[in-house]
Amino acid sequence: MIITKELVDRINYLARKQRDGGLNDDERYEQKKLRELYLEGIRAQLVDALDSMGIKPRKNNTRQNNGHHRGCGCAHCNDLEQH
């Protein structure tokens, strides 16, 4: 997904309209979809930038869902391991 000036302009227009008087249902749906496209584009740019630096995601991520490493020893993780 390429982020175009038109995409950003439309997102900004809908944001201003929402602030000034509100959006109808179709415009709220459009705003949501455009924001999703924008974020998809940002994520793709980040992945490309990291890839160009030689940084690859780990295949076997050792982090738990709470963001801590297994066996990190903090009180939060120790509580999880005991249950």
Nearest C-alpha neighbor of 17 from the set 31, 5, 37: 31
User: 45 to each of 4, 22, 57, 59, how far by Cα in Å?
Assistant: 13, 31, 15, 20
Q: What is the pLDDT of residue 56?
A: 78
pLDDT tier for residue 7 given thresholds of 50, 70 and 90: very high
Question: What is the residue extent of each domain of the chain?
Answer: 5-52
Q: Which residues contact 6 (CB under 8 A, 6 or more apart)?
A: none
Cβ contact 31:44 at 8 Å: no
**Given pLDDT bands bounded at 50, 70 and 90, which one contains residue 23?**
very high
For residue 15, what are the contacts with CB-CB under 8 A and spacing of at least 6? 31
CATH number at 5-52:
1.10.287.540
pLDDT digits (tens, 9 = 90+) for 57-70: 666 545 555 566 65
- The pLDDT confidence band at residue 76, using thresholds 50, 70 and 90, is low
